[in-house]
Amino acid sequence: MELDYAARCLDKLGNPTRLEIIRLLVRAGPDGLSVGALKAHLSIAASTLSHHILHLATVGLIDKRRRGRVLCCTPNYDLLHALVAMLTDECCKGVAHTAAPLAAQSSHGALG
């Protein structure tokens, strides 16, 4: 994955509402959720939701498609997996001095 593209995707995920949309869609599974269901879960205005969906769809994090008269959103699992893999695949490789401090921080709850 190109670093610039990954940065654009992560930038779009850097908004709490957008991150929650992704979380809801991932929990819903491959069938995704209708925009109406997302709106109900998030309790936000339709125009605000549309704005956030546009940002996520623009970089390919979600797919939108019509099922009859209903607009549904589904997560792009391949892209989400690729983003996570890009961030974790090289964990602790080649930079020995960073591995120990990160391990110590996570065992003390500093990372999460």
24-83 confidence digits (pLDDT tens): 999 999 999 999 999 999 999 999 999 999 999 999 999 999 989 999 999 999 999 999
Domain boundaries, the chain: 3-107
pLDDT given for residue 112 in this prediction = 47
pLDDT > 90? residue 101:
no
Name 64's bridge partners. Answer: 73
**64 and 71 Cβ atoms separated by less than 8 Å:** yes
- The CATH code of domain 3-107 reads 1.10.10.10
